[in-house]
Amino acid sequence: MGVGVNKIKSINFSSKTLIGGFTLIELIIVIIILGILTITVAPKFFTSKGFSEYAYRTDVIAKLRLIQTKAMQQTNSGYCHSVLVTATKLGTPENCGSSPSFAAPWQDSASKLQIDSNDNITFSTNFTGNSFSFDSMGRPSCAAPCIITISGEQSISVQIEAEGYIHAL
């Protein structure tokens, strides 16, 4: 009986093996792409230009919806559900009479917003008197649509529809 011999083929490599790497052209292309990203994207991470307007718009919508919700829940006439908008402030005024105004020393509350002095942003409106109120159904008293514009690096707006729907434009 013969014993079969398994032969294993061996592959001999030369002493010079190829090591994979990047070519000079590939490295130059990667450096160019990184340079373009550095110029265009990096400044957006280190400054807040253009971002503040969106943050204030979100806050304006939240404040308006809070005042509107209170108007729908607190039907007693003793509560003030007016909104006063000045160049740097928005919210429920302390004086809710015929000429609404904010208190001389600013008082923070959940229904008020004041623009930080470091931000170059202002509020403006399309309604007369820069104030309006919500009724018990959540509808604004201004001639709809009521628009509050937040101006800075760019201008963005918040709109209040006749039915009371508050949304960003």
List the domain boundaries for the chain.
51-168
- What is the third-level CATH fold of 51-168? minor pseudopilin epsh fold (3.55.40)
| pLDDT greater at residue 133 or residue 106 | 133
Q: How far apart are CA 55 and CA 149, in angstroms?
A: 13
Q: State yes or no: pLDDT of 127 exceeds 60.
A: yes
Average pLDDT over residues 139-163: 86
Which band of pLDDT confidence, cut at 50, 70 and 90, is reported for residue 28?
very high
